[in-house]
Amino acid sequence: MKTEHAPTIQRADYRPLSWTVETVDLHFALDPEATVVTNRMLCVRNPDADAGPIRLWGEDLKRLSLTVDGQAPAALRESGALIEIDAGGDRVVVEVRTRIDPKANTTLSGLYLSNGGFFTQCEAEGFRRITCFPDRPDVMARFTVTLEADRANCPVLLSNGNLIGQGELPDGRHYARWEDPFPKPCYLFALVAADLVALERTVQTMSGREVLLQVWVEEGNLDRCGHAMDSLVHSMRWDEETFGLELDLDRFMIVAVADFNMGAMENKGLNIFNTKFVLAKPDTATDIDYEHVESVVAHEYFHNWTGNRVTCRDWFQLTLKEGLTVFRDQQFSADMLARAAGAEGAASARAVKRIDDVRVLRAAQFPEDAGPMAHPIRPDSYQEINNFYTATVYEKGAEVIRMLHTLLGQEGFRNGMDLYFSYHDGEAVTCDDFVEVMSEANNGFDLDQFMRWYSQAGTPRVKASGEWNAAVGSYTLTLAQYTPATPGQHAKLPLVIPVAVGLIGPDGRDCALRLDGEAQDGATTRVLKLTADEQRFRFVGLAAEPVPSLLRGFSAPVVLELDEDDARLAFRMAHDADPFNRWDAAQRYAERVVLAMAADAAAPVPDAFVAAFRALLGDGALDPAFRAQALALPGEAYLLERMAPAEPLALRAALVRLMRTLGERLAADWLALFDAMQVPGEYRYHPADAGRRALANLALRYLAAAGDGEGLARAQTRFEAASNMTERFGALAALVQSTHPAREAALEAFHARYRDDALVLDKWFALQAGAWRWDDAAAPVLDRVRALLSDPAFSLSNPNKVYALLGTYFRANPGEFHAADGSGHAFWAEQVIALNGRNPQVAARMARALESWRRFTPALQASIRAQLERVLASEGLSPDVAEVVGKALD
């Protein structure tokens, strides 16, 4: 079914514009309901394009005037958001005056109000909601911006670049003038006019320049900015040391805003952040929040080079900046963890980060790649670009960059990056341009076949089998690849897949690897390059049959299909020298057990599994953070993905039973572990402490699931006595995930303590929306979610609240959401329709929760289909939601 809501834009249709913009002078007379924007653009003819009119886009604007060189334009045509103006000569000044209503802007795209302040969000196409402009990333102009506002309400006036003037105006107003020396696309424009205060720090860049760093927040939050500031300084140092990239401005600002659709935005010199990724102090933020602040600050900072200095030619190239920047922030976080862990713990610390990243990929990207929205990391078409800020573009995009890094090596990759900036600084380029410089910097390394990663959707399968020849001591590994068909893309070609391999001997130690015909070099892990449909690799010189350890470190974003029996998984769980694969063996074993239990409600938990689990639990030589990863069951979304058909209720029942059994049978071990993992002294955010807290919290979860009296008592004490949010919230989560009568009182106490703290209340909403039912007689979670919709702290206008309550219920609680009576699905439709009229981007994100409906049982499919159709038929459907629901029903 095609929807008439939005035309489809094709990547192949890209043409340069006939006119671009050299300089922009913007003037904002800020007023909550009637802001007047005056925009003077110096438009220049593009010598590289066909002759044609000046093209501008404008949306939801009241146009007051438009002149070309001071005159009314000779010809002006309008169609939808597009305005075309005929102009002569090569350089003309176009001046547009528009009036906008920030207060009425509930989309949080363009100029909007949050808590009385003015904020902007322009990526991808929000600038056209501010003024008429050639709103495309390949138009890079120099911006000068004057802001005028009421001084009392908005004492702080910020925009990109350097402050070049400020002063008083009549009627209690004031102004500030900013100039950004670097040409940029308009999606990187930003302004902030609000009542804020800043934490400031001055630092020297590697070339010795002094730069001013500021983190701007509301006054009461000044004590929560230190970690963001430290993270910024660490990011700057890392980019200098790792890539030789220095901050290019005299001032770099981060601003926190409570109403924001996404995580944060890399506007040049003026990053705007969701408060969730800036504010952190021990009493309100968990260790995981601290980690997120660090990685999001790094991500946005790294965009200054990968995204801003070199940007995207068009939005199909989004992964050029996002995949690369996610890879950079992942490497940064891994380096930070490794540094904190010291030489001995570095490998394990890096593996913990890798595991985190792969969990996200498997939970969010694999399902996307198997569903109706599947797209290559560089899509070929879209209806609404905002729907393409996806796990595929970001996370799989980062995996593709990681594979390049693996294939070219650290130094080759760095050389490629250097060449990338030397060729393309100040330009808007394509993914092909990037891969081409990587090849050129590495003696013409052939990356032609590698480019298929950019054009093919779907998660590739790598099927592996081994053959042992005892007579000659050789082990032949056969690797075969295939990629399942995805919508609109049936035939798939073989990809270049780096498969990192180790062979484990019967003693549990890695064997030295020697491929037939090659010399021995002592390596115990090596990267095989799978490029054909099927290839064989023959290892020789082996004394006994080895156990293969494949795809070490998750060397490619694929599903590995390898027949391993329980004993072999337990062996690798205990011995694999690659910590990532050791974790993965535990996950595979757990997956097998839980899926068998879901298929057969009477299937017991195998003793051997409990024993393997106990061995990991008690292995004091293993880093606690690693143990916490290895003892956590695979995510529910990932497990559903592995079931055909998906039966969320059966899976939930199996998970409840497995958690209980592991809690009961290992109760003494968990209690001892909990006690051993206590962190004395005052809270500090440090990965070593965080690992201990994570493991202690996990122990409480298993004990609470089992209803263990001692465990629950420990949870209650910890909840009451905790000195920090990680412990307090960990204990609360354990209580909530139990049948303990104290759970409601604990939720209430938590609420009372944090009633005025929006970010902490988000945790409180999410915890209840994500709760499992441990007691068969308990009410459905939907009843609670519905009740919380009317909580005074809840608001459908605040994305964080929507993600916490509705997002958690729709996406992280499948065992409740997919209730057999269809009540969850009907509630979903109701909420998507309500959100659609307010904030289409947020509505579309919620709408995606049901896109994979065809994977479910026939009864669930029928229930979901009816609700998808109800949404599609609803009045005033945004292109955002229409694309998601339309594709789901296609």
User: What residues make contact with ligand 0A1 under the rule CB under 6 A?
Assistant: 109, 121, 123, 261-266, 299-300, 322, 386, 389, 841
Q: Which is nearer to Zn ion, 395 or 641 (CB)?
A: 395
- Measured from the CB atom, the residue of 108 and 404 that comes closer to ligand 0A1 is 108
Q: What burial letters (b/e) apply to 829-852, b meaning 16+ CB within 10 Å?
A: bebbbebbeebbbbbbbbbbbbbb
Q: Which of ligand 0A1, Zn ion, none is residue 473 near (CB under 5 to 8 Å by kind)?
A: none
Residue 827: DSSP 8-state: H
Using the minimum distance from each CB to ligand 0A1, give the nearer residue, 311 or 716.
311
Question: Which CB, 35 or 390, lies closer to ligand 0A1?
Answer: 390
In the complex with ligand 0A1, the residue whose CB is nearer, 109 or 726, is 109
> Checking DSSP bridges between strand 461-469 and strand 559-562, what pairing results, if any?
parallel
| Nearest one of 428, 448, 406, 416 to 317, comparing CA atoms | 428
Our CA dihedral for 624, 629, 633, 634, rounded to 10 degrees, sits at 180
Identify what 255 binds: ligand 0A1, Zn ion, none; CB under 5 to 8 Å per kind. Answer: none
Q: Which does 389 bind (CB under 5 to 8 A by kind): Zn ion, ligand 0A1, none?
A: ligand 0A1
Angle of helix 397-424 relative to helix 226-243, nearest 10 degrees, comes to 70
Residue 646 CB, nearest approach to Zn ion (Å): 31
Closest-CA residue to 180 (of 96, 131, 248, 272): 248
**Where does 394-496 show beta strands of DSSP type E?**
428-429, 461-469, 474-482
Amino acid of residue 705: A
Q: Which is nearer to Zn ion, 326 or 835 (CB)?
A: 326
Of 545, 605, 553, whose CA–CA distance to 582 is shortest?
553
Partner in contact with 313, chosen from Zn ion, ligand 0A1, none, beta carbon below 5 to 8 Å by kind? none
| Rounded Cα–Cα distance for residues 42 and 90 (Å) | 10
* Span from 321-329, 438-446, 709-717, 792-800 in contact with Zn ion (CB under 5 A): 321-329
When CB distances are held under 5 to 8 angstroms depending on the partner's kind, the choice from ligand 0A1, Zn ion, none that residue 263 binds is ligand 0A1
Give CA torsion, residues 166, 169, 175, 181, to 10 deg: -60
Q: Which residues contact 499 (CB under 8 A, 6 or more apart)?
A: 462, 479, 527, 528, 529, 530, 550, 551, 555, 556
CB 211 within 8 A of CB 205: yes
684 Cβ contact list (under 8 Å, min separation 6): none
Point out which span in 157-165, 317-325, 509-517, 768-776 binds Zn ion (CB under 5 A). 317-325
For ligand 0A1, the closer CB: 214 or 308: 308
Residue 774 CB, nearest approach to ligand 0A1 (Å):
38
Minimal distance, residue 124 CB to ligand 0A1, in Å = 6
Mark the segment that binds Zn ion (CB under 5 A) among 107-115, 208-216, 318-326, 675-683.
318-326
Return the one option of Zn ion, ligand 0A1, none that residue 121 interacts with (CB less than 5 to 8 A, by type): ligand 0A1
Least distance CB 262 / Zn ion (angstroms): 9
Q: What one-character DSSP code corresponds to residue 7?
A: P
CB contact at 8 A, 191 and 117: no
* Interacting partner of 606 out of Zn ion, ligand 0A1, none (Cβ under 5 to 8 A depending on kind): none
What does the angle CA 333 – CA 336 – CA 339 come to, to the nearest 5 degrees? 150
- Count of positions (residues) in the chain: 890
Cβ nearer to ligand 0A1, comparing 110 with 416: 110
Q: Shortest distance, CB of residue 370 to ligand 0A1, whole angstroms?
A: 24
Partner whose binding site includes residue 123, from ligand 0A1, Zn ion, none (CB under 5 to 8 Å by kind): ligand 0A1
CB of 263 to ligand 0A1, least distance (A): 6
| Enzyme catalytic residues | 300
Q: How far is the CB of 328 from ligand 0A1 (least distance, A)?
A: 12
Identify the CA nearest to 136 among candidates 510, 376, 428, 499.
Answer: 428
Report in angstroms how near the CB of residue 393 gets to ligand 0A1 at its nearest: 9
Residue of 49, 195, 41, 43 lying closest to 131 (CA atoms): 41
Q: Which residue sits closest to ligand 0A1, CB atoms considered?
A: 262
How big is the site for Zn ion, counted in residues (CB under 5 A)?
A: 2
Q: By the criterion CB under 5 A, which residues form the site for Zn ion?
A: 322, 325
